[in-house]
Structure formats: C-alpha cells, structure tokens
C-alpha cells in the first residue's frame, strides 16, 4: 500500500494559495484515477483507489499545515506502513515555478508541514517537491506562500498536476527517476514550428 499525502491548508480561503499545490495535485490524482469519495479519517480527507494493482490512499490533512504530521502519523500507524510507503507532495521555494524533483529524506527547509511530519514519523519518507519559486526575500516568504497564484500561473499548474497524476504508476513502482522523467516529458514545451524549406542558417 502507498500513502500519498498532499499538503495544504483547509478551507476555501486557502484553496488557490501557493502553499496548497500539494492539495491541487492530490485532487487531480483522485479525479484521474477515479478514487473513492472522501471519508473523514486520520484528521483528514482520505480517498481510496487502486493503481497498477496497488492499493493507494490519498490523504489531505484537514489540520492546518503546521500540524500535518498528526494525520500522517495516524494513517501510518493504522496501516502499519514503512517510511518507504509514504509520499508527500508539497510546495518547494527552492525550485523554479513548474519544476519538480523527488527526494527521500532530508531537512524541512523551513516548511512547517514537513517539519510536523518529520517530528511524528522521522525524515526518511519520499517527497515530491513542486517548485513555486522564491519571492527573493526571506522576510516575504510567509506572505508569498499564503497568497494566491496569479491567473497566468494556471498555464503551468494545470499541465503539471495533470502530469503528476499521469505519472503516479512510477511512484507506485518505486521508480522515482522514471516518475520525474515522465513528468518532464509531459510538461515539456512544444517544439517551435519551422517553415518548410527553412535552412536554419539564418540566410
């Protein structure tokens, strides 16, 4: 069984915040793979499904971000999961907008959701780091992550969460490099069209 945790803050007022991209990805996974309706479990919304023959639980904690570990720890204990069975999708300031990386373990880099999860279960779970860029000033970070994405950001958000949902089977198989490659291919900008007969030498 794989536990996929999307991080965010609950409630409509936070729905389009940069901090909530983990929720956005979780919602698309649930929609794409036709998971169950949500159930209130583990201090969160839990959705059940099967991908490539593997049972998956998608969990969106309904605590605030800095208490996300309560939900993750409860689900982990209930299902007797190993840390390798847990994938957390979260916003990442240290990656440019639309970029994505997967890593196992490490610090929280000031992310309160990761800090809470690590306090409850330890650091060696998998993280899908979704880049939202950095405001350029550490004093502006809180306001930045708790503000909404701009409308123009949908141009990269929608294809990216679609790609995360599409590539989920690679995470199920434990193939993190394959997952990143698939997402990169699906979100790669289209090749510019060249006119027929163009030589490409500028002449």
pLDDT exceeds 70 at position 88:
yes
194: left (phi over 0), alpha (psi -120 to 50) or beta: beta
The CA distance from 2 to 20, in Å, is 21
Query: Both tokens of residue 24?
Result: 């956005």
The CA distance from 133 to 198, in Å, is 37
Per-residue model confidence as pLDDT tens digits over 65-83: 999 999 999 999 999 999 9
Average pLDDT, the chain: 93
- 120 and 72 in contact (C-beta within 8 Å)? yes
pLDDT exceeds 70 at position 138:
yes
With cut-offs at 50, 70 and 90, classify the pLDDT of residue 110. Answer: confident
Per-residue model confidence as pLDDT tens digits over 41-73: 999 999 999 999 999 999 999 999 999 999 999
Return the pLDDT at 44.
97
Contacts of 179 (CB under 8 A, 6+ apart): 102, 128, 167, 168, 170, 171
Return the pLDDT at 188.
87
Per-residue model confidence as pLDDT tens digits over 142-185: 999 999 999 999 999 999 999 999 999 999 999 999 999 999 99
Return the pLDDT at 203.
46
Mean pLDDT within 78-94: 97
Return the pLDDT at 194.
64
Per-residue model confidence as pLDDT tens digits over 187-202: 987 777 766 555 555 4
The domain locations on the chain are 2-187
Which residues have a catalytic role annotated? 19
CATH for 2-187?
3.40.50.1470
């Amino acid at each position: 069984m794989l536990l996929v945790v999307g991080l965010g803050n609950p409630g409509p007022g936070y729905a389009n915040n940069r901090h909530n991209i983990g929720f956005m990805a979780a919602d698309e996974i649930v929609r794409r793979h036709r998971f169950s309706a949500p159930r209130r479990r583990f201090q969160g919304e839990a959705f059940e499904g099967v991908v490539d023959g593997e049972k998956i639980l998608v969990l969106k904690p309904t605590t605030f971000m800095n208490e996300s570990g309560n939900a993750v720890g409860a689900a982990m204990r209930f299902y007797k999961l190993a840390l390798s069975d847990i994938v957390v999708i979260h916003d990442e300031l240290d990656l440019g907008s639309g970029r994505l990386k997967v890593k196992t373990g490490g610090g929280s880099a000031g992310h309160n959701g990761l800090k809470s999860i690590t306090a409850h279960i330890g650091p060696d779970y998998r993280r899908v780091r979704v880049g939202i860029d950095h405001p350029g000033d550490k004093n502006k970070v809180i306001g930045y992550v708790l503000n909404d994405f701009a409308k123009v950001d949908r141009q990269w958000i929608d294809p990216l969460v679609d790609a995360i949902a599409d590539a989920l089977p690679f995470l199920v198989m434990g193939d993190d490099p394959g997952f990143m490659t698939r997402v990169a291919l699906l979100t790669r900008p289209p090749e510019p069209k060249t006119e027929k007969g163009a030589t490409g030498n500028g002449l």
